[in-house]
């Protein structure tokens, strides 16, 4: 990855419909995607992430704004004139062709020499570890194998940018996790800029160099997975990326008074009324009556194997979840209705003013 810009969206607007009934799928979106970067557009259905991907691919035209590739304006350039390839959710393979023929199809359409097509096809099949299946029809492949063929076909012409529209969503959980690792490996080996669209936060966190979190047609935050997880800029990002506890509070000098009465330290904010957020894994339990802890009552215990989620209620009814590592044997000695104390890791508390 370099500091040069592969793709830039400048104040992009995409509206569907006319007049008062028009729907803005994208509302003044600007973002720079670096060369050689694995960049993920993350958000719920209808947030605009796929629309932005289609604008980069050339399948849609923006209502306003511009799309640039390596500094050149490609806003009105047709899809076949852009050095960009797309891997769709459905893979769109040709069932009557073999794996090798599918991979080489795009090169043939570009008029490349037969020897080059054969050599590139062999190299791509080796890259996705499908050499042994070169002569098999794609209809005879598993979902994961079909996904690899689609990737090899898209990578064969050596595009400057590869667009991936939720390509793992049709796979089962185990295979999806395996393919997340494979996708990152392919991106690192080829050095091609990947722009990946997903609604799955785990996919985004595990694969991406940077993430753009989207909601209601706007980019809410762009940053590394660690930045976005540890320092969300607003409540939407904090709730969409992982799990969060939200605690209403009032600023009192350099500290904050929770609605339950507890006074805790947190980063400074301008607003008098704020929401403090802390991840469940940054909540610590203490003995009931501990004067340095906030009184709470256990309302539920949910076992997840490696973790147990301990649901708690503060005296004012505010709900807090603590993620505790499950003990190797037996249980942690916790029970529903048990009074406990809780603490928050101080540096893990974030202040949200929205």
Residue range 113-149, pLDDT digits in tens: 999 999 999 998 998 888 999 999 988 888 888 888 9
Vertex 199, ends 44 and 23: CA angle to 5°? 35
Name the 3-class secondary structure at 20: helix
The reported pLDDT for the residue numbered 59 is 95
> What is the tens place of the pLDDT at every residue in 173-218?
888 888 888 889 889 988 999 999 999 998 999 999 999 999 999 9
Half-sphere exposure of 176 (CA within 13 A, CB side): 15
Residues of the chain with pLDDT > 90, as a percent, come to 66
The reported pLDDT for the residue numbered 5 is 96
Q: Give me the residue spans of the domains in the chain.
A: 5-235, 244-352
Dihedral sign of CA atoms 325, 308, 344, 232 in order: positive
> What is the tens place of the pLDDT at every residue in 69-117?
999 999 999 998 999 999 887 778 888 889 999 999 988 888 899 999 9
Q: Please give the sequence-ordered ranges of beta strands (E in DSSP) within 206-293, or none if there are none.
A: 210-215, 218-223, 245-252, 255-258, 263-265, 273-278, 283-286
The reported pLDDT for the residue numbered 283 is 95
Please give the average per-residue pLDDT across 21-29, as a whole number.
Answer: 92
> What is the tens place of the pLDDT at every residue in 252-300?
988 999 999 999 988 888 888 999 999 999 999 999 989 889 999 999 9
Could you please state the CATH topology (level 3) that the domain comprising 5-235 is classified under: Rossmann fold (3.40.50)
As a CATH number, domain 244-352 is 2.40.50.140
Comparison of pLDDT for 171 and 231, the residue scoring more: 231
C-alpha span between 48 and 20 (Å, rounded): 19
Q: Residue 1 pLDDT more than 80?
A: no
Vertex 240, ends 11 and 58: CA angle to 5°? 35
The reported pLDDT for the residue numbered 341 is 95
Please give the average per-residue pLDDT across 18-22, as a whole number.
Answer: 82
The reported pLDDT for the residue numbered 52 is 97
Least confident of 7-11, 169-173, 247-251, 287-291: 169-173
The reported pLDDT for the residue numbered 95 is 87
The reported pLDDT for the residue numbered 354 is 67
pTM: 0.88
- Tally of CB atoms within 10 A around 318: 18
The reported pLDDT for the residue numbered 331 is 63
Long-range contacts of 299-305 (CB under 8 A, 24+ apart): 299/336, 300/336, 301/334, 301/335, 301/336
The reported pLDDT for the residue numbered 288 is 92
């Amino acid at each position: 990855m370099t500091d040069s810009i592969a793709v830039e969206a400048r104040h992009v607007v995409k509206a569907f419909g006319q007049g008062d009934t028009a729907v803005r799928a994208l509302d003044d979106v600007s973002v720079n995607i670096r060369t050689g970067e694995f960049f993920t557009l993350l958000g719920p259905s209808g947030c605009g992430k796929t629309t932005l991907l289609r604008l980069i691919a050339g399948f849609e035209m923006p209502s306003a704004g511009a799309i640039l590739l390596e500094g050149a304006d490609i806003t009105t350039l047709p899809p076949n004139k852009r050095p960009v390839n797309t891997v769709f959710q459905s893979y769109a393979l040709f069932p009557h062709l073999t794996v090798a023929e599918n991979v080489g199809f795009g090169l043939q359409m570009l008029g490349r020499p037969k020897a080059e097509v054969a050599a590139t096809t062999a190299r791509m099949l080796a890259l996705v570890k499908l050499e042994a299946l070169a002569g098999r029809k794609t209809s005879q492949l598993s979902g994961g194998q079909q996904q690899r063929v689609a990737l090899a076909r898209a990578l064969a012409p050596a595009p400057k940018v590869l667009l991936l529209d939720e390509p793992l969503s049709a796979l089962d959980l185990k295979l999806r996790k395996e393919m997340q690792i494979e996708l990152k490996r392919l991106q690192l080996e080829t050095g091609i800029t990947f722009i990946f669209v997903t609604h799955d936060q785990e996919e985004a966190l595990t694969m991406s160099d940077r993430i753009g979190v989207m909601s209601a047609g706007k980019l809410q935050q762009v940053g590394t997975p660690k930045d976005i997880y540890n320092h969300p800029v607003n409540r939407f990002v904090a709730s969409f990326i992982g799990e969060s506890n939200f605690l209403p509070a009032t600023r009192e000098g350099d500290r904050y008074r929770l609605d339950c009465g507890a006074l805790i330290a947190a980063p400074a904010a301008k607003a008098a009324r704020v929401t403090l957020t802390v991840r469940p894994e940054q909540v610590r339990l203490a003995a009931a009556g501990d004067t340095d802890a906030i009184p709470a009552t256990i309302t539920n215990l949910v076992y997840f194997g490696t973790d147990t989620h301990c649901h708690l209620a503060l005296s004012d009814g505010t709900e807090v979840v603590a993620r505790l590592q499950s003990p190797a044997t037996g249980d942690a000695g916790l029970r529903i209705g048990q009074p406990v104390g809780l603490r928050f890791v101080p540096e893990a508390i974030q202040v949200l003013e929205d």
